[in-house]
Every structure is written in structure tokens, then in C-alpha cells.
Chain A
Amino acid sequence: MSVRESTAASVRRVAVFAATTARPTTERERERRRIAIMCLPFFALATVAGFVPLAMLVRMSVAADVIWIEGWSLDAWRTLLTEPTYRRVAWNTVWFVGLATVVSVVLGVAVAHVLEKYDLPFERVVVAAVSFPIALPGIIVAILVIAMLGRQGLVTNAIAAVTGTSAIDLASATAITGLFLGYVYSLVPRATMVLRGTYAEVNTQAEEAARSLGASRWETFYRVTLPEIRPGIAAATILTFRSGLAIFGTVLLLQSHYVITLQIQREISVGTYRPDVAAAIGLVYVVFIVAFTFVGLRFVRTDTVTL
């Protein structure tokens, strides 16, 4: 079959597919139409809120205005690749958010374990308290951190009083720690929510079988529970890392560590106004997130965990 014939055949197949979806006669075709109708709003939204802004970002990264009037250049991309500042910001972002993700997922496992394995008094109150930070804007989290670990913070002054050190020195020394705790505070609930769903699927009788066979509580967790919740841990890691990368309010207020979101804000601030670089950073960010999610999903069994 020639290329022309095969193209014509493909076009015919697509046309038949579209026609049968629009006017279905079999149950399979009717199901396809239901799927199409249900997915339509999402694709409409994805187009307006996803594809169009992405196309705009591509354009902004190479041209300040309409391409055929202004022309285009790769200056922004050249800047991104050559200036050490951007490599430093990228590395800062990855290690900081990566560490916050690891700590948050470990804490999430512990919290999910306690919530799912034990009959807690006031369990609903505990669940509400654990999930509460999800609803908090980043700015509020930053204010909480300042209230606790700032120069006049409760914890800072308590430690200063006990150790005899200066509260100002202490607050400066722990500035990045405060930001880290703010990140963890925001991310733990996300990890916990995903892991709770996974924990609910854990075969408790298999855990009891392990105990009866001589495994301690820790060995049972390590050898039976942990392998079972591994897909949940992978899912929680993906979600938490992605959420961590997107945190902006907290870091904007605390400014104790330069990460990607803060750098984008800098690029579009008065004085250093470089929207083309901001757009290029944004595109790198999107590509990284998509690639990370695809790689991460290889470790997630979609029948046990959804993202």
C-alpha cells in the first residue's frame, strides 16, 4: 500500500470513528459517545487553561510581542542555560523540595499508619487537624512560621531564654529551617491523604499471619505492610513533590531560600522585568513536571492508587 493510500485509509477510519461516535448504533459506540461527552468539558478546560497558556509561554519565551512584527530570539533560553544563577535556583529547588517531600512522605506514612491501624479517640477531629493545612494559603503558613520561629516567635524566644542566646541570631540561623518546616507542614496532609487510601487496602490478616509466624511489629511493617503500600508511597511522592514545587506564598514571604517559583516572581518584578526568561523558566518547569510524573507513574499500580 502506498503512502497516499494508507493516508486515505487512515482518514477514512477517523471519519468512520467520528461518524459512529456521533451517531452510534452499537452499545460499544454508545459507550464511546458517553466517554466523549463526559471528557469534553475537561478538554475544553485543558485547552483554555492548559494548551493556550502553554502556547503563549512558548511565544513569550522567544518574542516580547507578536512574532511577525517583533521577530524572535533565543536570548531568554541562552540566559537560562549560561547564567549560573538559574542552575543554582534549579538545584536549590530540587534538593529543598526533594528533602521536604521525603520528610513529608515519611511523616505521612506514620500518620496514615496511626489513623488506619488504631482506634483513636476523636478520630474525626484528628483527621480534620491533619488535613487542615491543605486549605491554608501559603502566606498564612509563612505567618505561622514567623509567629513560631521568627525573631519574636514563641519557639525562638523560648529556646533563646533556655540557651541564653540572642533571639535575633537564632531566628537568622534557622531561617531556612523555618521555610523547610513551612513546606513540610503544607505537604504532610497531601501525603497522608494518598497514603490513607492505600493503607485501607492493606491486608490486615496478612499482617497478623506475619506476627503469628514470629515477625515483630517492625518486621511485619517492613516485610509485609511496606511492600503493600509501595504504590501509595510512589503516588504520595509524586503528588507531594509536584505540590512542593508549586509552593509560592510561603517562600514569597519568608524569602530565605531561592526556589523556582520565587525566581519566576523576580523575573516579572519591576526593575528586573524579563518576561521572556520567566516564560522559559515556566516551560522548563512544565516539561520537568510532566516528565517526572510519567516516570513516577511507572512505580504506581493504577488499580490501587490514583492521582
Chain B
Amino acid sequence: MFEKALVGSRKYWLWLAFLALLIFIGFLAFLAQLQYGLGITGMNRDVSWGFYVAQFTFLVGVAASGVMVVLPYYLHNHKVFGPVTVFGEFLAIAAVIMCLLFIIVDIGQTHRLFNVLLHPTPHSMLFYDMIVLNGYLALNVICGWAALHGEYKGTKYPKWVVPFIYLSIPWAFSIHTVTAFLYAGLPGRHFWLTAIMAPRFLASAFCSGPALLLIALLIAQKVSRFRVEPKAIDTLSKIITYALLTNIFFFGCELFTAFYSNIPGHKASLIYLFKGLEGHQEWVIFMWTAWLLMLGAALMLVIPPLRKNINTLVLACVMLFIGAWIDKGIGLLMGGFTPTPFETITPYRPTVPELLISLGIWAAGFFIMTVLFKIAVSVKEARAA
């Protein structure tokens, strides 16, 4: 089946070569980081996690969102999702690999990574994160590959894979819940100390992930003879709409609790992010961009003619993806670390090497996603022919 990835158009190879170049540049930047230390990034004593952990958190959501096509098909027999489940699983594989790479580049002593296995520590949430992320990767490799291989051979997916599929559904929720628990259980970080952290994570994941999947499917449709049923797109767009509205609602709940209670610690991070605090306005423009994009996308998606029009739908998906990426990526981290435990403000700006490394990892993710989608599309084309 893998041979399908080795034949492709000129455009396909050019795209892969472009991604490989970005990966190479990122790898060189990573070598420089290994040599110099994490001081090469913008992170500091007070903002001790930055762009890497932000990308990690966001991508765990993208990975988890694969379940939004798997669940309706396997649990509710929503048939139009049948042909697209494998894409959800392949997207999850690419996203989890990016997550693992972002963790690897974030730690200070890279070669000691396996100390986490050597000294398993069940009271640390990172221990569970390691288990659920690697488990989820394995589940999606098994389920996605087995289902597609069935199709390749012209049969249904094998019976033995069914328990793995059922297991992968709650597992998807677990990866994002555990990731939220990394933040939500820390004393003294008011912005993160919220019981709806995990629900918020899931809501933003289930709009941004399927939005990316939808765009990827439409691209696949454009460059091949593979066709997605319009009804599948329609259902997916409704899932995105509900998840986005839930995400906005949850954020409203956070705003209410912080500002109606009037507790300074709960308000400070939000004020810093959206208005600026003590003359520091580093992220104000980003946060307003994020939320205006998400609100605008929500407005477009709840108006049926705009949601059903493929152009406005894609535009809304792009908008909410960027919005959720800024909000949950960098906003979550900066709000958590600001103000500092001394109620001071230490600004953070990612540096060029930090961004190059991040870009390299995103490129690696898109490389994997492209290859996997290419295989899936080719198998489906061959079946249809």
C-alpha cells in the first residue's frame, strides 16, 4: 500500500521537497539549540514555557479531533463519514507526531528524555500524557492502516480492529483532558486553575481540528479524482459550528467568573492579554485578532447559506483555525505565566531559531499528513476506477 506514496505528480513532489527543506532548516536550528541551550529561545525565568509548549497543546487538540469523524461513523453508523474516517485517523497520526517532536525540542536535556520511562512517576501528569499520547498514536496507526488496507484489498476492515476503534474514541478525549490537567492543577496560576480547562480544550479542539480536516479534504478533492460526499462536508461543518459556539460560550463563562467576582488574580491575566497591564501590551493585538476571527467565523457558520457555500465555509474554517491557534497556542501560555508569581510582568517574544524549529516541526507534520493522505486518496481512486 505504501507504494502509492511513491508515485505522484510533479506538484506532489515539489510540495514534499519544499516541506523537506523547511524540516532541514528547522533541524539545523535545533542543532544550534542543542549546542547553545534553550537560551536560544525567548523563554526566560518567568515565562519558562513558550512557543513550543503552546504548539504542543494546540496540536494535541488537532489530534483528538480525529474522533469527530470516527465517532459518528462507528457509533452512530453515520454512513457518509465512512470514506473520511481514515483521513481523521491520519490527521491524528501527523498531529501526535508533531506533539511528540515539540516536547523533544522543549526539554533542556534532550538525551535524558527516556528518564520518563526509566523512573515512571504516577503522581506527575506528564507521565499520563506520555502514555495517552503514545497510546493514541499506536491506536490511530492500527485503526487507520487496517481500515485502509481492507479497502485496498477490496474488503471491509478486519474484525480484530473493532475493539481498537472503540478504544480510540474515549482515548481521544483522554489525550486532551490529560493535557488540560497539566495546567489546571497548578496552585498559584490563576489563569489555568479552572475546572473548565479540559472542556474548553475539547471545545476548541473539536472546532479547529475538523476545520483543518475539512480544508485538507477539499484540497485532496481538488488534486485527485477522490470525491467527498457533500453530506459529509455538511455534517462536518455542523460539528465545527457547534464546537466553536461551545468554545465561545466557555470563554464567556471564564470572563463572567473573573470579572463578576472581581478577584484581582483571576482578572489580571485576562486584562494583560486583552487590554495590557502596567504598560505591557505584547499580546493585545493577537488576542483581539483571535477572538474577532472566531466570533466572525461563528457568525458565518450559523447563517445556513454561508455555511453551505463552500467558499464562505472554507473562509470561516481558516478564520477559526487561526483564531483558535492564537488563543490556545500562545494566549493560554502567556496568560498563565503573566503576571509572574511576584506580580510583575516579564515579556516573552519567540526568537527566530525558535520559530524556525517550530516551522520545521509543522513541516514534518504536513509531510506525514501529505504522504498518508496521498496513500488514502490513491487507494480510494483505485477502488472507484
Same complex for A and B? Answer no
